[in-house]
């Protein structure tokens, strides 16, 4: 615990800023409701998002355990779930199983990973890290949180519909999702699902607009673009991705709703006979949905990853007491991933029957996206190289991020290679791959991020031993659950099968599936440690000062927790965010806060930075 210093305040010293420490008190009193419920304060909104997504993580996890139960013990009655839902004998029916994985994925993607990164961390960190007092549009920001609830409501509604739940997979390919007769879950549940998707989209869009505006306009004096922490860069690029990709998904969603309830035929070709219903009339094309859907959802996997990459970069630099290795290449590779992210969507459709020439184009672009990813991994290693590493919960989660992202990235090359993808597409290899990226990488980054910024949120530290135990169990459970999925995929086990053991060539995989389920249960229960640690530390955690990690960023010069309006001293940025262990660091410390004016070269343009026109405190 050597890096925890409550003397940071004294070191950093208010005298460092000789000026006005009182000029912007936000003295207006607020009622409980406007302070904690309908708050326009970005920090409260961020924490609201964080708590909501952690709860949704538990919901999504429970649904996943349902899936895993069925794969380990097909058709055997399931404890707990069996009694919660009106299922005969507590058994999971194939119908229910389909709903389970559909809603598991939906919850995890739309209600956990996207909102935890952009919603929780984006909201909490952006103004603090760039030295602003709030977001550019605080009311819009509040709405972006509150639009999560209609989304949760709509997704919740699907559970109450006939056939309990949307069951078209989270990708909802038509015609399964377009024709109500196609499956028990394709009725009103699917319509609710699409409405839920739209609300999530609206929420993200509000965030995206806010982040772009805030980052462009509200940086503290001296915070030039290339003095921004990588977290901010990644949030900025993610916001741009969202702004360009989301409208496409929203439009596609409306088209599908129109197909379902207005009788249009965007996705429905003529002459389709489902369940002995009348043949359809119309000239639609189901592949159109796939193109539109993946045009959003492929960039979306980067929306689910880039912010975590940025956060991990900042945390690694701090925990290794080193500058980021290759800051500019890190920025450029973020941008390259985002740019390439837009032209690779077709790799989800290699077996779909689209033009084979497109297959080749998409293969080359997809494989090339591994390049900026590789650059990032090497730079993270470079950052740790020669460091003075503090092995705390934050570092462990970040190292796991790098290691798991490596596995997820390498398995991606198999799928990017079209001929190989012919075989492994829609097998468990895919499931292994995206869990390594989404859970193994992103979620470990999030766990690290929660531990790292918790002191700023609540003025207290999370419990280290519990944090380490949570990491240890999660890491073991995670690899036990998901690594074998690669092997299942190679063995040809298709995904979304309620009972793969119907097939002779898959029968012998049952014990392996049972092992994975035990690992998943272990991992699921480990999450209670996180939840408990989080909730209890808010009240009982060790108190800490402004800068418990001896970090450099602007956010650490604000009080913990920061009051409304964030900074008691308007921050001015004097240098980049990664000057750890600089030979000229102020005496007796190995960090050099961005706000610390000591030792700066006296150049007249120093303050102007590039953004002098936009002081944070107006």
Binding residue for ligand HEM (CB under 6 A) from 67, 111, 130, 135?
A: 67
Collapsing DSSP to helix, strand or coil, 494 comes out as strand
* Interface positions, 464-503, toward ligand HEM (CB under 6 A): 481, 495-496
* Interface positions, 319-348, toward another protein (CB under 8 A): 320-327, 329
- Going by the DSSP 8-state scheme, the letter that residue 180 receives in this structure is G
* Interface positions, 511-540, toward another protein (CB under 8 A): 512
- Minimal distance, residue 29 CB to ligand HEM, in Å: 41
CB 71 within 8 A of CB 513: yes
Instruction: Indicate which of another protein, ligand HEM, none lies near residue 94 (CB less than 5 to 8 Å, by partner kind).
Output: another protein
Nearest residue (CB) to ligand HEM, 62 versus 265: 62
* Interface positions, 423-452, toward another protein (CB under 8 A): 423, 425-427
Give the separation between CA 427 and CA 490, rounded to whole angstroms. 8
* Interface positions, 517-576, toward ligand HEM (CB under 6 A): 520, 523-524
Nearest residue (CB) to ligand HEM, 108 versus 209: 108
- Minimal distance, residue 383 CB to ligand HEM, in Å: 26
**With CB under 8 A as the contact rule, which of the stretches 54-62, 120-128, 189-197, 387-395 interacts with another protein?**
387-395
- Going by the DSSP 8-state scheme, the letter that residue 186 receives in this structure is G
Nearest residue (CB) to another protein, 281 versus 536: 281
* Interface positions, 150-189, toward another protein (CB under 8 A): 167-169, 173-176, 179, 182-186
**Beta-bridge partners for 367:** none
DSSP letters spanning 184-243 = GGGSHHHHHHHHHHHHHHHHHHHHHHHHHHHHHH-PPTT--GGGS-HHHHHHHHHHHHHH
Number of residues that bind another protein (CB under 8 A): 123
**Beta-bridge partners for 355:** none
Binding residue for another protein (CB under 8 A) from 92, 154, 498, 523?
A: 498
- Minimal distance, residue 187 CB to ligand HEM, in Å: 19
- Going by the DSSP 8-state scheme, the letter that residue 555 receives in this structure is G
* Interface positions, 149-178, toward ligand HEM (CB under 6 A): 169-170
What six digits make up the tokens of 551?
A: 């970090």
What six digits make up the tokens of 252?
A: 């596609």
Residue 72 engages ligand HEM in binding (rule: CB under 6 A) = no
Binding residue for another protein (CB under 8 A) from 388, 525, 528, 599?
A: 388
How far does the chain reach from its first CA to its final CA, in angstroms?
39
Nearest residue (CB) to another protein, 218 versus 396: 396
Q: How many CA atoms lie within 13 A of 44 on its CB side?
A: 19
Helices assigned H by DSSP within 218-274: 230-261
Residue 385 engages another protein in binding (rule: CB under 8 A) = yes
What six digits make up the tokens of 374?
A: 């590789």
Give the separation between CA 505 and CA 365, rounded to whole angstroms. 35
- Going by the DSSP 8-state scheme, the letter that residue 563 receives in this structure is B
Binding residue for another protein (CB under 8 A) from 58, 258, 343, 370?
A: 370
- Minimal distance, residue 192 CB to ligand HEM, in Å: 17
Binding residue for ligand HEM (CB under 6 A) from 11, 50, 54, 105?
A: 105
Collapsing DSSP to helix, strand or coil, 68 comes out as helix
Instruction: Indicate which of another protein, ligand HEM, none lies near residue 273 (CB less than 5 to 8 Å, by partner kind).
Output: another protein
For helices 370-384 and 327-341, angle between their N-to-C axes, nearest 10 degrees:
160
- Residue of 481, 476, 495, 480 lying closest to 415 (CA atoms): 495
- Minimal distance, residue 448 CB to ligand HEM, in Å: 15
* Residue that the structure tokens 């309830």 belong to: 261
* Interface positions, 350-389, toward ligand HEM (CB under 6 A): none
Nearest residue (CB) to ligand HEM, 163 versus 524: 524
Give the burial string for 497-533 (b: 16+ CB within 10 Å, else e): bbebeeeeebeebeebbeebbebbbbbbebbebbeeb
Q: Which residues of this protein are in contact with ligand HEM, per CB under 6 A? A: 61, 64, 67-68, 101, 104-105, 108-109, 112-113, 169-170, 431, 435, 438-439, 443, 481, 495-496, 520, 523-524
């Amino acid at each position: 615990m050597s890096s925890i210093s409550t003397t940071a305040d004294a070191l950093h010293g208010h005298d460092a800023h000789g000026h006005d420490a009182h000029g912007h008190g936000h003295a207006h009193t607020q009622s409980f409701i406007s302070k904690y419920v309908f708050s326009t304060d970005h920090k409260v909104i961020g924490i609201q998002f964080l708590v909501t997504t952690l709860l949704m993580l538990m919901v999504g996890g429970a649904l996943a355990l349902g899936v895993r139960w069925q794969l380990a013990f097909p058709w055997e009655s399931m404890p707990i779930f069996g009694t919660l839902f009106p299922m005969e004998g507590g058994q999971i029916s194939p119908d229910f199983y389909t709903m389970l994985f559909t809603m598991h994925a939906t919850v995890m993607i739309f209600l956990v990973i996207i909102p935890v990164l952009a919603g929780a961390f984006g909201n909490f960190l952006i103004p603090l890290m760039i030295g602003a007092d709030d977001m550019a549009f605080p009311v819009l920001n509040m709405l972006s949180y509150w639009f999560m609830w209609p989304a949760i409501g709509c997704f919740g509604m699907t559970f109450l519909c006939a056939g309990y739940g949307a069951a078209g997979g989270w990708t909802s390919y038509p015609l399964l999702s377009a024709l109500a007769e196609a499956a028990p879950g394709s009725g009103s549940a699917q319509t609710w699902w699409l409405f839920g998707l739209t609300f999530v989209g609206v929420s993200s869009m509000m965030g995206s607009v806010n982040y772009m505006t805030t980052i462009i306009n509200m940086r503290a004096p001296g915070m030039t673009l290339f003095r921004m922490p990588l977290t901010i860069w990644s949030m900025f690029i993610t916001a741009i991705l969202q702004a360009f990709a989301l409208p496409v998904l929203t439009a596609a969603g409306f088209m599908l709703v129109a197909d379902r309830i207005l009788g249009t035929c965007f996705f429905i070709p003529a002459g389709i006979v489902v369940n002995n219903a009348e043949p359809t009339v119309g000239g639609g094309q189901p592949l159109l949905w796939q193109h539109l859907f993946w045009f959003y959802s492929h960039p979306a996997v980067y929306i689910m990853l880039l912010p975590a990459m940025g956060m991990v970069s900042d945390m690694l630099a701090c925990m290794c007491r080193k500058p980021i290795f290759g800051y500019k290449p890190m920025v450029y590779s973020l941008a390259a991933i985002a740019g390439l992210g837009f032209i690779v969507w077709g790799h989800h459709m290699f077996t779909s029957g689209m033009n084979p020439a497109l297959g080749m184009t998409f293969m080359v672009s997809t494989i090339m996206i591994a390049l900026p990813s590789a650059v990032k991994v090497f730079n993270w290693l470079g950052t740790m190289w020669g460091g003075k590493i503090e092995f705390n919960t934050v570092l462990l989660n970040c190292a796991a991020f790098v290691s798991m992202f490596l596995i997820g990235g390498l398995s991606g090359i198999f799928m990017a290679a079209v001929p190989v993808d012919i075989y492994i597409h829609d097998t468990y290899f895919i499931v292994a791959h995206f869990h390594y990226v989404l859970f193994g990488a992103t979620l470990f980054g999030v766990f690290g991020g929660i531990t790292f910024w918790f002191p700023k949120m609540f003025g207290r530290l999370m419990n280290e031993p519990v944090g380490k135990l949570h990491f240890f169990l999660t890491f073991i459970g995670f690899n036990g659950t998901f690594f074998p999925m690669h092997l299942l995929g190679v063995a040809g086990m298709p995904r979304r099968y309620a009972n793969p053991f119907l097939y002779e060539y898959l029968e012998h995989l049952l014990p392996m599936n049972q092992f994975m389920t035990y690992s998943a249960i272990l991992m699921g229960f480990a999450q209670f440690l996180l939840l408990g640690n989080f909730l209890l530390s808010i009240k009982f955690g060790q108190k800490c000062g402004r800068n418990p990690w001896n970090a450099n960023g602007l956010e650490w010069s604000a009080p913990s927790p920061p009051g409304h309006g964030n900074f008691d001293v308007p921050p001015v940025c004097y240098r980049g965010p990664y000057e750890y262990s600089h030979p000229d660091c102020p005496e007796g410390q190995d960090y050099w806060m961005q706000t610390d004016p000591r030792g700066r070269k006296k150049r007249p343009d120093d303050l102007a930075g590039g953004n002098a026109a936009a002081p944070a405190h107006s």
